[in-house]
Structure 1
């Protein structure tokens, strides 16, 4: 295991989100540094982008957009475009709709294959599904509106959404239109306070939890 505490000459203070390009480059958010770092596969800084309170980050399928959830006073999701030369430019800030605030604490983000954006929002716990331009489509609050603290979110090959429920020790499987399908894993499977989640290239679901463990579940058939 390699422990990363700094990138180039910058000490990491509170790294919160990470995603990667197909070529191995990475996007890393650091909330207390107020920056996004674009990193080489060797963890060298290639670019930095100033962003207030960045948390979760996600790349769309074509790797032309980066979505960044912003906690703290921002209460927004910023979308950056990536041009053919790799230049990163802020193109949209998703925050309000018809004068109403969309998010309270946007925490994690994920892209569907059609470019729609999934945003986990804590306090109150709610999952937002939005168009590529940021217009609200669906919301998910769990069976009987009992969704617990959302800590992680990812999307499978069929655009179903997987949500970690920290309070209820389970993973929700949610349809692309925001409907509950089933629980994928629960406390009975040894899950305790699940946090981050992702689906690897073999179709397995990997989940981090509060016991400093990563649990891997067979999810999609190979």
Structure 2
């Protein structure tokens, strides 16, 4: 996909060190004025605005596998310690939810946590205050891994063994839909694009990211293809921002990749120079910043983009 940049114009403002992207405005439902987003500026060097460790005194090491945020808290799935930890945005530990090998976590606007449990082969549902609510997918799921919510607020689960996406009703837990992932070797993490509702799936052992239409039709893949020349290694967490940009953790290469809503390479947001060992989990916080979790327990928050109005003498990537 990086070769597609030859069809676009891309550059850096030498004075500001910023890459400017012209893209579609965010959706009105996210509470932003689309007219204010004519130009989006990606900083050439992202700014880390906060960092903390999720390791607790009684932990046996850490293996972070999932990350989610709401307005008050960060929720961290720690696979080896059998718990999902709850922190403030500043990194203050509040409490944890004990589960059998949690893989990933998603949080709803209604105050529910949806946690994939490898040990229980289901989705465990809790309130954001730690009270258990219900379970989903028992008897259907084999190894539920990545989890996200679609635009209707229903729960989408990526099963790595069954190579399928299962969609459950957020309240009743009823199975609504199943999308096969026959193109994948080992699908793990999943997200739904907030701009076009396409589904992005990280294929760990396929060393690529697949993008599907909302109905499950395969649109394209990024990486692991002789035609695009992109070599990924063990891609993991994937998320999108309000403008439809796709971010995923290229874990084996110790970097975070940013793509346009159409799958064009934009830049590396975080690299091994930022001190990450195994970037594995991603999310966007309410401030529009990228939150990155390292498998060994570090969480860092990055400011990567800003809006510009009437900016001149800048170079653009046209992503339409």
User: Into which bin does the TM-score normalised by the smaller protein fall?
Assistant: 0.7 to 0.9
Q: 2:159 aligns with which of 51, 54, 70?
A: 70
**Given the two structures, how large is their TM-score scaled by the length of structure 1?**
0.87
Aligned-CA RMSD value: 1.8
2:113 to 20, 23, 26: 26
Tell me the matched-pair count. Answer: 208
Q: Residues 145 and 36 (structure 1 numbering): CA distance in 2 closer, same or farther, change over 3 Å?
A: same
* Structure 2 gaps, min length 5: 1-92, 308-320
Residue deviations 1:167-194 (CA, integer Å, cap 9, x gap): 1111100122222111111122223221
1:212 is aligned to 2:297? yes
Instruction: Give how far 1:128 is off.
Output: 1.0
Structure 1 stretches of 4+ with a deviation exceeding 3 A read none
Q: What secondary structure does 2:290 align onto? A: strand
The answer to which structure, 1 or 2, has the higher relative contact order (CA under 8 A, 6+ apart) is 2
What is the CA-CA distance between 1:5 and the residue it aligns to? 4.6
Q: Cα gap change, 1:102/1:91 in structure 2, threshold over 3 Å: closer, same or farther?
A: farther
**Alignment partner, residue 143 of structure 2:** 53
Residues 1-222 of structure 1: pairs in structure 2 closer than 5 A? 1-6=93-98, 12-49=99-136, 50=138, 51-63=141-153, 65-72=154-161, 74-82=162-170, 86-95=171-180, 101-113=182-194, 114-141=196-223, 144-221=229-306
Larger Rg: 2
Partner Cα separation in structure 2 for residue 218 and residue 56 of structure 1: 25
* CA deviation after TM superposition for structure 1 residue 126, in Å: 1.2
Q: Structure 1 unaligned segments of length 5 or more: list them.
A: 7-11
Would you say the 8 A contact 2:210–2:221 is kept in 1? Answer: yes
Measure, in 2, the Cα distance between the counterparts of 1:190 and 1:132: 36
8 Å CA contact 1:153, 1:196 repeated in 2: yes
